[in-house]
Amino acid sequence: MTLLETVAFPVLFIWFVGLLLTLFRRDLESHWKFFFFLVFCFYLVQFFPEFWEGVARWKENPKAEVLLWISAMGNSIYVFLFFLWPLVLIRIYYSASNNLSKTLIPALAYGTVLYWALFFLWTMYSKEFNGWLHQIFTNK
């Protein structure tokens, strides 16, 4: 199973919740709400088979699916940071506001270092961590 097949259901579900919350905001203009809805519909149609497989896996064994999501979200953050860093560096260079650079640089740097530390700990203690998560989700 690929990373996309694993995270399609939780990402689209979280996106749907965010879309609903956005639609109820009064200060957003209706054409933006409609645009957000269209983008969501595009991705839902694009990844519907993966989404539906995720729903089926969730119905079959929700505890195992949550464990799979935790692992897949960590891997997807790794890929996301790979694409985000070059874009942020270019954005920092072309930023007209010094304040944006001063807040974005530490947030991204500390966030990346924190992720790397957690990723390192997870790789070193993956058996123990997976056993602990399995115990939490299967005993309760």
Helix (H, G, I), strand (E, B) or coil at 44: helix
> What's the whole-model pTM score?
0.73
**Greater pLDDT, 107 or 134:** 107
Q: Domain map of the chain by residue range? A: 1-60, 61-139
**Greater pLDDT, 126 or 113:** 113
Query: Residue length, the chain?
Result: 140
- pLDDT at residue 86, rounded to an integer: 92
Q: By the 8 A CB rule, do 65 and 57 touch?
A: yes
- pLDDT at residue 127, rounded to an integer: 82
Cα distance between residue 115 and residue 117, in whole Å: 5
74-116 residue pLDDT tens: 889 988 999 999 998 888 888 777 887 788 889 999 999 999 9
Whether 140 has a pLDDT exceeding 80, the answer reads no
7-39 residue pLDDT tens: 999 999 999 999 999 999 999 899 999 999 999
- pLDDT category at 53 given cuts 50, 70, 90 is very high
- Residue ranges of the alpha helices (H) in the chain? 3-23, 30-46, 48-60, 62-94, 98-124, 126-139
DSSP string, 69-108: HHHHHHHHHHHHHHHHHHHHHHHHHH-S-HHHHHHHHHHH
Q: Which residues lie closer than 8 Å to 101 by C-beta, 6 or more apart? A: 92, 95
